[in-house]
Amino acid sequence: MASPEIEALTQALARLPGLGPRSARRAVLHLLKKREAALTPLLHALERVNERLTSCSTCGNVDTTDPCAVCADPRRDTRMLCVVEEVADLWALDRSRLFPGRYHVLGGRLSALEGVRPEDLSIDALVSRVAAGGIDEVVLATNATLEGQTTAHYVADRLEALPVRLTQLAHGVPVGGELDYLDEGTLAQALRARRPVA
């Protein structure tokens, strides 16, 4: 029988992916017992992120700055653009440190079942971005699922008329797999063996 404040904290933590009610309780106990070492840093980190959280108006990444840290990085190769479904995929690819260019987050995948249409994704913005020039290669890095590949085909059709080389990740990605769950070795192989869209 904890106080309502502690119950509320437990419930907020239990809703995070990877934590259930029991692990959330253990996490709360840890926070309560290690106030200076755990609770305060987490609180301050959340406050700072909450103050500054924004979406990158260039690529759709979430970050505390706009443009995001990736788009603002002067060492990035601006001639290469990697198209991904979700921010999680951008992070997964960027952790591998193998792609030297920038990203474009579609914000999902085409899905007849879920009623996701092309206008629900950031595809027009991608076409404008590529049409504006300065990009030599667009790597289509949607998930290797049916919907991800459908989305890649659709995006490829929309970009076909533009003077860019379209590539996609090699079949190092296991069929049915999602980028965010892959190890970096598999991601590296898939990036190295990327091939032109047929």
**Where does 102-183 have alpha helices with state H?**
123-131, 146-159
Residue 89 vs 147, nearer CB to a second copy? 89
Contact residues for 170 (Cβ-Cβ < 8 A; gap 6+): 189, 190, 191, 192, 193, 194, 195
Contact call for residue 5 and a second copy (CB under 8 A) = yes
Query: C-alpha 176: how far from its chain's center?
Result: 18
Contact call for residue 69 and a second copy (CB under 8 A) = yes
Q: How far is the CB of 43 from a second copy (least distance, A)?
A: 5
Contact call for residue 182 and a second copy (CB under 8 A) = no
For residue 130, the tally of other CB atoms under 10 A from its CB is 21
141 close to 93: Cβ distance less than 8 angstroms: yes
Q: Which of 8, 131, 146, 170 binds a second copy (CB under 8 A)?
A: 8
Residue 148 vs 164, nearer CB to a second copy? 148
Q: Which of 79, 94, 98, 197 binds a second copy (CB under 8 A)?
A: 94
Q: Please name which of 89, 98, 103, 105 lies closest in space to residue 189, comparing C-alpha atoms.
A: 98
Query: In sequence order, what are the beta bridge partners of 102?
Result: 81
Q: How far is the CB of 50 from a second copy (least distance, A)?
A: 5
Contact call for residue 114 and a second copy (CB under 8 A) = no
Q: Is the dihedral of CA 126, 130, 131, 133 positive or negative?
A: positive
Binding to a second copy by CB under 8 A, coded x per residue (else -) over 29-68, reads: xxxxx-x--xxxxxxxxxxxxx-xx--------xxxx--x
Please report, as ranges, the residues that interact with a second copy according to CB under 8 A: 1-3, 5-6, 8-9, 11-13, 15-19, 23, 25-27, 29-33, 35, 38-50, 52-53, 62-65, 68-70, 73, 87-88, 91, 94, 180
